[in-house]
Chains A and B, each alone.
Chain A
Amino acid sequence: MEPVTTIDGRAYPFGQKNVDTDVIIPSHWLKTITREGLGRGAFESLRQDPDNLFDSAEFTGSPILIAGDNFGCGSSREHAAWALLDLGVRAVIAPSFSDIFSGNAFKNGILTVVLPQDAIDRLVEVARTDPIHIDLDSQTVTTPFQDRFVFEIDAFRKECLIGGLDEVGLTMARGDAISGFEDAVRAERPFLARGVELAA
């Protein structure tokens, strides 16, 4: 994962609420067995409109997306995060995110920034004409007009994003603790420890 510190540039002033993962990447794009190339399918149904934001000369390639409440609701497909990444999006700012989407985004180095609706309204206004700056270290979103919005983020997520850390590797280093837990389960709740009988 690429380390994330600051994200700078134009932002799609999108603003829509309840944007589901079928809108972010329709299911027929899910038949891939790689993570690459999904940007072409991102927001496919919206991009049928020739005047859409994502293909406009002004906004295409913007690193930031500003959306409404409940962004990324629906399915667990990580393809939604891969599609945004392939489109060039490095941060999404919204009043709320689906739990699964924000986890997927984080694991791909996409920053999800939660700000209240009035801040979103202001940022959408600015984004129509000017760039936006996100600083993960100070947890702020700023504009060229002295706007400054502070956002919250889990300390652990922040550490992983800034360090570009591999979560699987971090957890594998805790192998002894996991083994100890498994021993305890075998003793106390053996029915959970026995799953599928596998042929040797």
Chain B
Amino acid sequence: METFVNDIAFIIGTTLMYSTPLIFAAVGGVITERSGIINIGLEGMMYFGAFVGAAVAYFSGDPWLGFFCAGLAGASLGLLHAIATVSFSAEQIVSGIAMNFLGVGFALFISRLVFDGATQTLTVPKKIPLPLDFLFGEGKLFASSGFMDLVFNRFATVYLAFILVFVAWFVLYKTSLGMRLRAVGEHPEAADSLGISVFKIRYGAVITSGFLAGLGGAAMSIAVVSRFSNTLISGHGFIALAAMIFGKWKPQGALLACLIFGGAKGLEIYMGAKGVPIPSGLLATLPYVLTIVILVGWVGRSQPPASIGKIFDKGEN
């Protein structure tokens, strides 16, 4: 019985670990797309954030400074994306693809300059802390490797991700800012005629999404692992994008999608460790196949914000 409970705890713990970076980026995606701007560049923003987070944490020794700078790195790409899409009516998908090339390019370019030609950083001296250990002392609150320890004794980023989902939900649905943002995404002309600045809202939303995607990258590079390498972020941004659509453009939906995905990953690792008689190679397809099955079977059509991807031009020129 005890091993069974611990097995469950192991799966939940792994789920949380894998979901966290995705949650940050997916919530970022929700915010920008609800304002009407597609951001397919989440991958590049995560990639750049993962590098900057690890590099700053390595040189400063402060993981939180690294975490924050990772956000800024993502936000800088977000700013570029906003300039293109909001100010110059760019094709949003095209600009997003550009962000993916730029994110990878900047990260590896700077990495080679700073880390002696290597496309990875050195190990950071300190990772993002485990808040429970930090507050109560290691192994004091819960017996180590017990159920509670495996489930709840997680990196601070895990808690932050859940708080973020709540804050994003609150802002989007319970504040006037959120209402404006959604109005801009549904019907920018109407929002504009009511005096809402489509321009400002969209800039803010796109930059925020970059910031969050950058945090997601750092949640990978200085919490899940302790360094950036060129293969660390490989498709996470795209999976976050999928989670956002899966979650029907809602923070809570995106959270659920990320957890399902992370859960499938946790199950895959657990079954692999237990020697379930399915070839481990095929087992690795589980999260992806499961996502498709859920989409086909239960979720189906998801409706994006009405004006998404459409160019808004005030008609000044």
Instruction: Answer yes or no: are A and B bound together in one complex.
Output: no
Q: Tell me the B residues contacting A by CB distance below 8 Å.
A: none
User: B-contacting residues of A (Cβ < 8 Å)?
Assistant: none
